Structure 1
Amino acid sequence: METFASALQKNIADLRRQRLYTVRSLADRLAELGQPVHPSGITKMENGTRTPSALEVVALALALNVNVSRLLMPFTASSNEQFELPGVGKVSAFDMWLWADGWQPLDLPDDENTGRALLDFQLHARPPQLVKPEAREDWERLRNIRAAKGDDASGEH
């Protein structure tokens, strides 16, 4: 079962090769981006003996022309493949991508609270400019209905 660590090391190596970078040329590109990493550091990242910092992950994503999620997540969206998420446990790769891309929470309830949880997540997972207007309108409508009933739509009391 894949983890963030194993996905990250595999994805760095795979994307570096797909982009036709040598370890040295990727190190040079990272230095151009203001985040120098010695070629041996990249090799260690790829074999799992060195964990990149958050800034290095961002620089790697820029250098490899992908988003950060592509580096951190398994490169599959299969609902049959499981991924180990710290603090959560096993999650399907499909659900992980929906969560990472801001579409739905990992713990989406399968009951009358599904719509509320989905709207809440979508409104808070991205900047307001990236939220679909209809989602914002639905959230406002739900909040107004719940406020009229004396219930806070945010779930906070």
Structure 2
Amino acid sequence: MAEKQKTPLGPTGETVRQNIERIRQDKRLTYVELSERLTELGRRIPVLGLRRIERGERRVDADDLMALAVALRVNASALLLPSTAEGTVEITGAGAVDAKRAWQWADGRRPLHIPEDDDGTARMEFQREARPLGLRRYPPTEEGHQALKEEYGHAPIRRRRDGTLYREWPDGRREEFNPDDYNDE
């Protein structure tokens, strides 16, 4: 019987593997201790499984990734991206990307690529899909602010400290503003 060929890890899988090993060692956690933390969280990965992950012999699925992040006390991005904001990083599906932009993308702050002819709305549209209401940051630019005004009305849109948006009309009236209410989809 022919042996089943395993698909090699891609760049993100390799980064996850390296980060798990680095963070575990930085925190001076043994495989046993990390395995125990994962078991307490309800996502059992035995010591052998952790060793295989760090050697690149076992893939990390989405549930493993989240449990590992919780157990290592980091966010999922700390496992998914290289631990640098300098230079370029390899992102599965996107190729080589500026490291700082990759982190901003992973944090839901900006798209990986913004078209050159963007009128300032690319970030707004990205954040509408990537971040929950209250954590969105717009308008990102003066052009984006103008685009919002043109699309949603002429009253300036302002953001409170808690992240909620409101319109302030020339007569001083204020009303809550939810961009999702204006989504045509």
| Aligned equivalent of 2:57, options 45, 49, 55 | 49
TM-score normalised to the size of structure 2? 0.70
Instruction: Confirm whether residue 98 of structure 1 aligns to residue 98 of structure 2.
Output: no
3-state SS of paired residue (2:53): helix
Percent identity, aligned pairs only? 35
Gaps of 5+ in 2: 1-9, 154-181
Given that 2:111 and 2:123 are in contact with CA atoms closer than 8 Å, whether structure 1 keeps it comes out as: yes
Q: Which has the larger radius of gyration?
A: 2
Change (3 A) 1:143 1:98: same
Q: Which residue of 2 aligns with 1:67?
A: 75
Deviation digits for residues 54-103 of structure 1, max 9, x if unmatched?
A: 1111000001110001001000001x2x2222222221211111110111
Deviation digits for residues 101-156 of structure 1, max 9, x if unmatched?
A: 11110111223x15111111122210002123656x946424236xxxxxxx9798
Q: Which residue of 2 aligns with 1:117?
A: 122
TM-score normalised to the size of structure 1? 0.81
Q: 2-side partners of 1:155 and 1:115: how far apart? A: 19
Q: Which residue of 2 aligns with 1:16?
A: 24
Quick one: higher RCO (CA 8 Å, sep 6+), 1 or 2?
A: 1
Given that 1:108 and 1:114 are in contact with CA atoms closer than 8 Å, whether structure 2 keeps it comes out as: no
Given that 2:124 and 2:139 are in contact with CA atoms closer than 8 Å, whether structure 1 keeps it comes out as: no
Q: 1-side partners of 2:11 and 2:184: how far apart? A: 31
3-state SS of paired residue (1:45): helix
May I ask how many residue pairs the two structures share in their alignment? Answer: 144
Q: Which residue of 1 aligns with 2:135?
A: 130
Given that 1:3 and 1:83 are in contact with CA atoms closer than 8 Å, whether structure 2 keeps it comes out as: no
Displacement after TM superposition at 1:33 (Å)? 0.2
Given that 2:124 and 2:138 are in contact with CA atoms closer than 8 Å, whether structure 1 keeps it comes out as: no
Query: Which structure has the highest helix share of the two?
Result: 1
Gaps of 5+ in 1: 146-152
Aligned residue identity for 2:18: K
Superposition CA RMSD, Å? 2.5
Moved over 6 A (4+): 153-156
Q: 1-side partners of 2:36 and 2:150: how far apart? A: 51
Q: 1-side partners of 2:183 and 2:93: how far apart? A: 23
